[in-house]
Structure 1
């Protein structure tokens, strides 16, 4: 029997909650591709965007879903449509997939394996149904799966034994450093072990702190036949099968380093957050240091130089080289820069509060007032021109509390929130391999907040090469003080750093969101109580 099958895979960047808008996009794609596609596939919860979070509990949200589902079902007159959406039945909600064809519902599958770890809260919303779904279509037996199902060996074994000869899985799998390799290895393993073609469709785009990298992939012939879609870009591709053989030529994405992937992820996240939230552009304080330098570069790469504004706000402790660096950076990027000296603003603050706080100079009070003067300026311009304030604290600083509440933490989006200081330098060097945008003397300078005379970060912190290793082990791998000391870290440094991390949870909770890059960010991934009697004591 000669069996041919054409499948169009829509790797889309959709907007959470825009049910009608997402539906319109889906319908346009169906209209364009139904002339030569047997099946058109859309990603997990593509109707609503992923993750819809508590929107899913709203009755008007449910109503809109049902209205648009009917429209999409009617559009399946000439081609089959596989669509991810929530489904409401009695008092339960399901993470569902519908297979529509000839204006009829052929099959509806409910996600079996509901992730409830890290950034995932699917048990809060959905009910699991442990039942396989195999659709007979064009002489093929198609096994349908949703995201986490493909990670469950028991489910894969079950659906293969039930007679599936091709797996189609729709996904909303967030980006993390090195995750793409792990994901692909899993798919190759299934394809090789069961000699079964796999179509893995992942969504692309950013939603709040989550990033979806796309990288959809089609595998056949024990993984020898490969067709891969772009990373961090929308793409619609059509693949052709004949008797379970993939007809398309092998197309593998060029291997990219985790540094390059991370940079692309940050750019896409920044672009989506600014545009999906309808900001006119971005504004930030450009200090002449490495963090603000990398942040402004990512912002320009994301939304263009015309929409990014930099403000340099020197104080009496600001070195001339910092002002020069900021000017050079702005010129290289082609962005507008304004210089506003904060000496007079600061002095007025001091004058007003001196009767209450008599001894102010060279204390944390003075340092924080500087940061808060700058925040007032940025927020005023933001309010006037509807530009998003980008904060510039990296993960290392946030971890130990080296940032000022209502000062440099004041803003709407922190691009570097999950980026360690050592990774900041690597990303800056990577960006300069594309074009020299970040001056070398910024990269080579010793880090300093310049809030006090001759101040350096390493006056009070260990070298970042040491600090970031401790932070990674404690935050991402959950090691205790005792375990860190056994790894060879200095006892006094471990005590100091862990105490700083634990004591600054209240500050991090008030900081703006930023893109998740590592396996555990300071966001949904790490939900620590602010008020806590737990201490990491030496055993």
Structure 2
């Protein structure tokens, strides 16, 4: 029995585009001899649709699209999922079988599947999903796992293990697990639609981060496919996830070009590389905005990087705006010592410049902050925290350095001086990040333990960290809740993101 899986990259709400993608794949799979065809989960609607799944206008458009899709389907069945309004007025996810121009069967979802983002079609015991049978044949012939699964570090192994267990131990029957590709709202879906035999072996698997029609035959002898990409390291998968996340977010929101501030530091350097690779250097505008505290070396590093990437670089001095601010507010600040006010206004004036370029030329502004800064609030609200998309906001600072070194191992593009100099926001003479924060190796370890692994402060101290340092870090995370609430969407590449830190209340007086 020859089966086709359509691994597509849908756009949320663009039913015309999604219909064309499904129909093109269906027609090709039919020509290649498919007995039935499965569209990856959310191929028609896009994912994640969030509260659009409760919007009646959206649901009506989805119903029209489904009927149009059905009218184009011939004798070879096509399986596709969508959301609908049930007769009792409830919204439900349904899987439908389209054949001979009509909806032949439909099944409603009951609970969440392996991917965890959407309710799944679990029609028997908890170990199974939608059942595709021929007539009334028993026992179960096939399980169809319809859970769109986003990419996180290590998710491939976790997903395959879960599917193997489902096929070989719980149900003792083959499992088909389609998956979409593409980025949307911070999630990046990685594809790798997979077919598992009743013995738990891989029958077929799709490519990662690419659209594809996967054809397989149940009668064929199982073998481990070459495109398992076992030799692909985690850094390369991270690179593919982040570039796809940028490219799809930009294009799916109607933009073509991006702008970002290029400080000469490691974070903006990595984001610039990713943006140039994702969109093409001709679609990236980098802006260096040196202040009276910016070193000449930082400006030169920005120039070298921009030249290496082939992107356009504009150098706009901050001094005229900063001097005007000093003159405007100077009379009110008489006898006041310089403090964080003067530092924050530099970041906010830079944001004014970047947003002005964004508005005037229609460029999407990319945020360059990392997870360590976002977690602890080491950023300026409405300053360097602004932007439409946070590219590396789910990478700790130490991970950014490791990733940058991997980038340079592929091609030498980031100047060595950016990798070796002490990180600094350059908001006052001789400033370094470590004047305010613990060393990033310690900071990131404490953040992981407290935010992701659930360690208590006492348990972290027992591992050898100074209590004063641990308390400083955890209280920074608590106090910075108001900043995280107002930040841009982050491309998620870890299981936890910022974990419970993203859900901390703003109006609280907790001091651990």
- Range into which the TM-score falls when normalised by the shorter chain: over 0.9
Distance 1:52 1:454 in 2: 47
Identify the residue that residue 18 of structure 1 maps to in structure 2: 14
Distance 1:531 1:482 in 2: 26
Q: Answer with 458-467 or 481-490: which moved more.
A: 481-490
Find the partner of 1:34 among 30, 35, 43: 30
Residues 196-227 of structure 1 show CA distances to partners (whole Å, capped at 9, x for unaligned) of: 22221111111111111112112226244432
- Structure 1 residues not aligned, in runs of 5+: 142-161
Residues 128-165 of structure 1 show CA distances to partners (whole Å, capped at 9, x for unaligned) of: 8768753333x896xxxxxxxxxxxxxxxxxxxx6112
Equivalent pairs counted in the alignment come to: 505
Distance 1:502 1:92 in 2: 38
SS of match in other structure, 2:145: strand
**Aligned counterparts, 1:274-293, within 5 A:** 274-293=250-269
Instruction: Indicate conservation of the 8 Å contact 2:269/2:414, yes or no.
Output: yes
Identify the residue that residue 80 of structure 1 maps to in structure 2: 77
Q: What is the deviation of 1:96?
A: 1.4
Find the partner of 2:376 among 400, 425, 443: 400
Instruction: Indicate conservation of the 8 Å contact 2:133/2:140, yes or no.
Output: no
Residues 417-459 of structure 1 show CA distances to partners (whole Å, capped at 9, x for unaligned) of: 1110011011111111221111111111111111111111112
Q: What is the deviation of 1:512?
A: 1.2
Instruction: Indicate conservation of the 8 Å contact 2:5/2:213, yes or no.
Output: yes
Distance 1:534 1:363, change over 3 A: closer
Instruction: Indicate conservation of the 8 Å contact 1:171/1:203, yes or no.
Output: no
**Aligned counterparts, 1:134-533, within 5 A:** 134-137=131-134, 163-193=139-169, 194-220=171-197, 222-242=199-219, 245-246=220-221, 250-255=225-230, 256-359=232-335, 362-522=338-498, 526-533=502-509
Instruction: Indicate conservation of the 8 Å contact 2:10/2:42, yes or no.
Output: no
**Aligned counterparts, 1:86-125, within 5 A:** 86-89=83-86, 90-114=88-112, 120=117
- Cα RMSD of the aligned pairs, angstroms, is 2.4
Q: What is the deviation of 1:108?
A: 1.8
Q: What is the deviation of 1:182?
A: 0.7
* Normalised TM-score (structure 2): 0.93
Instruction: Indicate conservation of the 8 Å contact 1:93/1:127, yes or no.
Output: no
* Normalised TM-score (structure 1): 0.88
Distance 2:501 2:189 in 1: 16
- Structure 2 residues not aligned, in runs of 5+: none
Q: What is the deviation of 1:260?
A: 1.8
Distance 1:224 1:30 in 2: 26
Distance 2:330 2:114 in 1: 52
Identify the residue that residue 47 of structure 2 maps to in structure 1: 50
Distance 1:502 1:127, change over 3 A: farther
Distance 1:197 1:530 in 2: 48
